[in-house]
Structure formats: structure tokens, C-alpha cells
Structure 1
Amino acid sequence: MAVETKQELNPKTTHFEFSGPVGAFVLTFGLPLLVNVLCVCCTKEGCSLAPSHIIAQWKKTPFLTAEVYKVYLLWLAALALADLIVPGQIVDGTELRNGQRLKYKFNGTRVIAILGALLLSRGVATNWQLPELQFIYTNLTQLANASIVTSFAISTYLYISSFFGNKLLALGGNSHNVFYDFFMGRELNPRIGKLDLKLFLEMRPGLLLWVLIDLAMVHHQWLTYGRVSASIVLVTLFQGYYVIEGTFYEAGLVSMIDTTLDGLGFMLVFGDISLVPFTYSLQTRFLADNFVELSWLQIALITGVYLLGIAVFRLSNNEKNKFKQGKTNPGEYTYIETKTGSKLLTSGWWGMARHINYTGDWISSWAYSLPCGFNLVPYYYVVYFGVLLVHRESRDEAKCAAKYGETWTEYKRRVPYKFFPYLL
């Protein structure tokens, strides 16, 4: 096999997403503003997006002090160290365009166990005053701003470093336009020593901080009212389970689009360490200062919605993984075999809709916001997550159409629905 030249291995990007460089520029500066606004909008008086309320909060909230930024950087450094020294499962990645197959270490469940043990020990030592959680509640907006500043710093480093050495670039992040490539990410799998930056940022700082923010809000409500509401307990349990379950199955990331196709740029960095922890926790921030009571019937119905979504998401993914690994009985499923040898499921969960796992994910997202009652701002997550999944579906469809050609057209004929059987 002839050795490919650098230009052949890293061709120029000609197809743009997010409306090209203009869209990338708007999102790069618009999304951080959204995170900041959602952080300051929720107070003891409720959640309001009125400009007068937002401006008033900005005036009395410091942007970022040295103390808060130091704490945030220590958080990142501690997690990076844990990622390197805590033992974990070694998994081979998928083969890349250059024939390389990277190795990944997954130790998320052990890192969570260590973090949980530290939190419990601090609770006992401080008579459950937990100043660390109080610090998060008091300085939440500053911590969000710290994550935004860090997102720009990391993304700048990644963009500049991608020009040095023989780097494998992402097919979608090599347009030669600064704004677009900065946003999408040029290098496919950047690493510092043994630390894989893409998987570390996706699975550690943001997701674990999301859980800590939820716990900080529960703790604040307990300190304020002397008890906690069923509503905030439900949301915290639901979101905590989502993070822990995702960590338990994190080895599956090696074959996902984020890992195999997307570069690591501002889009993923900011989404991982800023957007996720500080906007996905919006519901518990609202409930911390707005005590919402739920009846047993409401608790049961909301829990039912969550369990339905989780069941659809997990059962469909397990079915797909089982099929890919060849652990099914002959004739158990119907499928279409592509020219590349891949098999597309056309029965079971995947015979109902082409992205049935996304449907389950979105259904469960409603259970995060329903405990907040009728205030509309906490329903941001449902709307945002829906838009995110629809966009991801469109990317999946485009990539599969390019990869499988006529076979994908036949697959769409056999499985005509995207998300909901007989509806959509």
C-alpha cells in the first residue's frame, strides 16, 4: 500500500456545518453569553430572562476573581492527575485513516468512587456543612465564567498545536478558515503525553461538576429550609444516574462520531466543560431557592417518564451493541448488509425508528424539568436537548448516506421513521 501524502491524508474541508464560518463565529461568542445569562437569571425570586433582571444581576456579580479561577484550575488538574494514575480498563480504539489504532484507558467508575469517598469524608469532618459545596453555590456564575475562559484557552492551544508535527486532522475541521477550524477543531485525537484530551474533557470535568452543582443546590436547600424537597431530590437522582450510567458504559465512546470523526475544537471543549455542567444543572439551581412540593402521584408520573426514556435508550443501545458484537442468535434479527460489510438492523428497536436511542434520551430529559412546575426557564434543557439531537441526527444521516450510498436509501425505505414510530 502506497504511503499517503500529508495532503491526501488531511484533505481540505469543503463541506461546512453550522452555516459555515459566520455560524461558527456567532456560536463561539453567542454560546458563552447564553451560559452566563442562564447562570445569573435564577434567583430567590424565580428564573427570569427579562433584560432588566439580567443586567441587575451582572452589576452585582463579579466576573471572575483570582481565587475562584485558582479553585477551578485545581479541579481540572486534580481530575487530569486522577485520569493518569488511577488504574482502568484498556480498550483499543477503531482504526483511523492513517491505519493507527489508539489505546484508551477508562477509569471513570473508580474516579467517581474516589470523589464520592472524599465528599463523604468531608461531610463527616465538617458536620455536613461542606464548605466546598457552599463555595459552588455562592460562586456559581464565576465558576461558569472560569470554564468559559478556560474553554477559549484550551481551544487556542489546540488550534495552534495542530499546525506542528505530523498530526491527523479531522475531515470536517481543515477548511483553512480560522474561525471555522477553531470552532470545529483541526486535530482529530490530540493528546498530552498519555492524557487523551478529547475523552478526558468529555467524561470528567464537566459531567462530574454537573453532579457536584446538583449536590451543592440540594445542600443549600437543606441549609436554608432545614429539609429538602422531593422535586430537587428527583432531579438530582435522575441526573446523577445519567452521569454514572454514562461513565459505566464509557468504553463505548471509542466508536462514537465525537471520537472517530470530529476534531477537538471550541465546539466540543466548551460544550464539555461549560455548557453541560452550568446549563444542564439549571433545574436544581431553580429548585434550590424555590421550594416546589410534589404529590405522590406527581412523583410517580415523573419517575415513570424518566424510566420510560432510560429503558428505550439503554435497551436500544444494548441491542445494537449485542448485534455488532455477534452475540445474537441466527435469524433473531433482520438486517441489510452494506458493500463495506457493515450490517444495518431493520428489526427490534431499530426497526421502529432509525434513531430510537435519541428518542429515549429526549423522553427522559422531560423528567429533569417537570419537577420545576410551570416556570418556563428550567425547560431550556428539553428544548436545547431536542435541538441537539435533531442536529446530531441530521449529521448521522448525511454521514451514513455518504458511506453506504444506495444501501442507506433502501434502509430508509425499510425503516422510514427517524424518532417516533408512525409519527416522525
Structure 2
Amino acid sequence: MSSKKAVELNPRTTTYEFLGPPGALFISMAVPITTYALYFGCSEHSGGCPPPNLSTIPDRVSLALSDSQWWKGLWDTKATVIYFAWYAFCVVAWAILPGATIEGTTLRTGEKKKYKINAFSTFLLALGITFGIIYRYGPGAFTFFYERWVGFVTASVLMSLLQAIFVHVMSFHEGKLLALGGNSGNFIYDFYIGRELNPSIGSFDIKSFNELRPGLILWALIDISMACEQAVRRGGLGNVSDSMWLVLLFQIGYIADGLYNEPAIFTTMDITTDGFGFMLSIGDLSWVPFVYSLQARYLVFNQNDLGPVVSAAVFLVNAAGYYIFRAANGEKNDFRNGRNPKNLQYFTTESGRKLLTSGWWGASRHPNYFGDLLMALAWSLPTGFDTPITYFYVTYFLVLLIHRQRRDDENCEKKYGKDWDKYKKLVPYRIIPCVY
């Protein structure tokens, strides 16, 4: 690639997101700190969720941070070995398990990147091995995630940092296609956002691999580990609480759905627009498995028996969310593939692109986000109302989806111009019909 062509394909980023370098630095530090804080602020180790005597927490935090033994306690060699072995397992499974090859969206170079699809097969293999261990040795053999939680978090942060450093260094090699938002020239910002659009090693695409495999499948395994820990305490898998079973059903079902529908990810902003930097590496590898599993971990030491009526009500909340999420995405996927079985109305832009204005996509511009939020709420409801901490996920997810919706709207405004203003009049609500 000539230097002139490289400049044309990789223009300098002139606008910042996340409040620029200060915001990128803050989030880069806040994400791992929050991941640890959700453990130390909500665990048996700390004495509760939240810990007792909240007024003394600042003093206790200061004392811990000044204690070298506390810092040493963040490291667990066995947990690190297991985590890195898990990541290696996912890579090997990607390489050897059969899977179809699909093309992604057209890149600025005019090319289409090819992706191997076998995340769901990897998930089934991991579940098969896990259930085999539990069946052969009992639930006590799969409680190590609960027992070595902090060590696993540290291992995931280390892997995230190493990957972010690797892809950042590699992005300066000649011929790389950079993300339009990650070429500012500011190290802190570009390291966080990600310079290269699709960092790869041969046919191995690092970004899409991390998006669906190591962290997402690990989230399911951690949930199972939490159920095993509760089973040990309650005298067997047959005595696991209904609240724990609901969390496992909801979350593992959500994970399975995402992995089964793997091709859908290649039209998302994470893949088509964002580079791969520390933002996605820490999110995929650390935040997803160790923050999203908070409810299951909480139910280990605060066992909550709901009863059939409450369980049914919570199930219906999740079912409603899933129906909206899947139905909305189904309408969109059909329409993108040239099908319109429901004869939905649409708006044609000057560029010839078509935007749905009826069905779920006429109710709001992001109805799938509304379904996501209902499911997130259902995942927290089994924990009861004794603490707001177990509702951290749905609160964070609301902020995340609003931010993502605004990013989507900004991109669409650039893409469609005045047509986007016309479309917003036809579909005025952003996520929740008649509310927002």
C-alpha cells in the first residue's frame, strides 16, 4: 500500500468519543477497578453485599492498598494457568472444529473479510467437558471459579492488557487498515479505542474471536461453577435454589442464542466500525464473564428461594424481553436479506437505502435494546431486593445502550443526512416506545 493510498484509507481521526484522552484513561482504569470492587464490595470475603459498617470502608480500602500482602493476594498462579489454558482451548477449538466460512461487510479497501463460524460448536464442546467433570467427580470438582475469583479476574486483566499492547504495536506495520475513530495520534486514546480495524494473525481474526468465545463462554462456565458451589453447600444439585436455576436458564440461554446466531455479529458496530484496543479486550475478556455473572455469585452466599408464583412472574419478564429481542432482530435480518414476509412499511433514502418504519422498528429505532433491557432486569430479579448491587448490571446496561444508541444515531446522521431527520419524524422513539 503506497503512502498516499494509506493516508486516503486511514485519515487522521479529528473527533473524540468518551471525552477524549482523559475519558479514555479514566475508563481504562475504572473498568478493572470496578470489576475488583464488585467482588470486594459484594462477597463473603468482605462480609456481605454491601459489607457491614459502610462508614469504615474508606479506612479499610486505604489500609488494604497500603498492605503488600493485599496486593500479592490479587495474584493466583493456578488461576492464571487455568485461564490462559482456557484461552488456548478456545483457539484450538476455533482451528480444529468444522465451521462454515462467511464474508463480512465490505471494507474501505473494497474487500470483504472472511470469518470462520464455529462459536456454538466450541460452546457445546466446553459444556460437554464441564458436565463430564461434574458427572464424574461431583459438583465440588467445578467450584474453583468461586474459590479463586480474584486470581481469575487478575488473569483476565493481564490477558486483556497483553492483547491490547500486541495489537497496538502491530497496527503500525505497513498495510494495516485502521479504524476511522482510532487514528488520532494520541497514544492513550488510540490504545483504548483501538487503531487497527481487524487485527489478525493469518486467518485468525482477533476481534471477532474475542467477541464471542473466551469471555462469553466463560461467563456460562462461571455461572455453572456458582451453581456447583451452592449445590455443595445445600447437599447436592437437586437442592439448588430456584433463583439460581432461573439465572442459569436466562443467562446461559442468552449466551447460547448469541453463539448460535454468530453471523449476526458481523453487522454490529463493534465489528464494522470500532478498532480492537483495550476497550474491547478488557470488555470481552474480563468485564463480561466476571461482572455479568454477579447475580449467580451473589446467590451462592445469599440463597434465595422464590417459590413457583414469583419464579413464573420473573420467567415471564425474561420471556417478554427475549421475544421482543428476537422478533425485532428477525425483522431486521429478513429485511436486510431482501425479504419482507410481514409486508412492513419502509422509508427509502436518496441513496437508495431502505429503513423500516413499521413493525418493531416502527415502534422505536432500537426495539432490540428494549428487549435486552427487560432480560437484564429479569436476570437481577431472582436476587431479591436486599441490595442494589445485584442490579448493577441492568443499570450499567441501560447507560451502555443509551450511549450505543446515540453513537448509532450520529453515524446514521452522517450516512443519511437530511433523510435521517425525516426518518426520525416517522420513528420518534429511540429505545422504549412512548418513553424514550
TM-superposed deviation, 1:326: 1.5
Q: Which position in structure 1 is the counterpart of 2:249? A: 237
CA separation in 2, counterparts of 1:158 and 1:93?
20
CA separation in 1, counterparts of 2:264 and 2:199?
19
Q: Which position in structure 2 is the counterpart of 1:122? A: 133
Q: Which position in structure 2 is the counterpart of 1:112? A: 123
TM-superposed deviation, 1:72: 1.1
Counting aligned pairs with the same residue, the percent is 40
TM-superposed deviation, 1:71: 1.4
TM-superposed deviation, 1:115: 1.1
Q: Which position in structure 1 is the counterpart of 2:361? A: 350
In structure 1, which of residues 400, 411, 423 is the aligned counterpart of residue 423 of structure 2? 411
In structure 1, which of residues 263, 283, 291 is the aligned counterpart of residue 303 of structure 2? 291
Q: Which position in structure 1 is the counterpart of 2:281? A: 269
Q: Per-residue CA shift, 1:234-265, capped at 9, x if unaligned? A: 01110000000000111111111111110000
The number of aligned residues is: 420
Q: What is the TM-score with the length of structure 1 in the denominator?
A: 0.95
2:161–2:278: 8 Å Cα contact kept in structure 1? yes
CA separation in 1, counterparts of 2:260 and 2:249?
16
Instruction: Give the counterpart letter for 1:189 in structure 2.
Output: N
Instruction: Give the counterpart letter for 1:158 in structure 2.
Output: V
Instruction: Give the counterpart letter for 1:185 in structure 2.
Output: G
Q: Per-residue CA shift, 1:166-218, capped at 9, x if unaligned? A: 10000000000000000000000011122110011010111111111111110
Q: Is 1:321 aligned to 2:333, yes or no? A: yes
In structure 2, which of residues 187, 210, 223 is the aligned counterpart of residue 201 of structure 1? 210
Call closer, same or farther: CA 1:4–1:321 in 2, change over 3 Å. Answer: farther
TM-superposed deviation, 1:117: 1.5
369-378 vs 320-329, greater mean Cα deviation: 320-329
Q: Per-residue CA shift, 1:73-111, capped at 9, x if unaligned? A: 111111111111111121111110011101111101211
Call closer, same or farther: CA 1:55–1:115 in 2, change over 3 Å. Answer: farther
CA separation in 2, counterparts of 1:141 and 1:34?
12
Q: Is 1:47 aligned to 2:49, yes or no? A: yes
2:248–2:296: 8 Å Cα contact kept in structure 1? yes
Q: Per-residue CA shift, 1:349-374, capped at 9, x if unaligned? A: 11110111101101110011111111
Q: Which position in structure 1 is the counterpart of 2:314? A: 302
CA separation in 2, counterparts of 1:114 and 1:65?
26
Gaps of 5+ in 1: none
Say which SS state the counterpart of residue 101 (structure 2) adopts. Answer: strand
CA separation in 1, counterparts of 2:125 and 2:143?
20
TM-superposed deviation, 1:55: 6.7
CA separation in 2, counterparts of 1:130 and 1:292?
21
TM-superposed deviation, 1:4: 6.3
CA separation in 2, counterparts of 1:54 and 1:223?
32
CA separation in 2, counterparts of 1:354 and 1:278?
31
2:298–2:390: 8 Å Cα contact kept in structure 1? yes
Q: What is the TM-score with the length of structure 2 in the denominator?
A: 0.93
Q: Per-residue CA shift, 1:311-341, capped at 9, x if unaligned? A: 1110000001111111225x81211112332
TM-superposed deviation, 1:54: 5.8
Say which SS state the counterpart of residue 344 (structure 1) adopts. Answer: strand
Gaps of 5+ in 2: none
CA separation in 2, counterparts of 1:288 and 1:55?
28
Q: Which position in structure 2 is the counterpart of 1:387? A: 399
Equivalence map 1:150-161=2 (5 Å): 150-161=159-170
TM-superposed deviation, 1:342: 1.4
CA separation in 2, counterparts of 1:118 and 1:314?
29
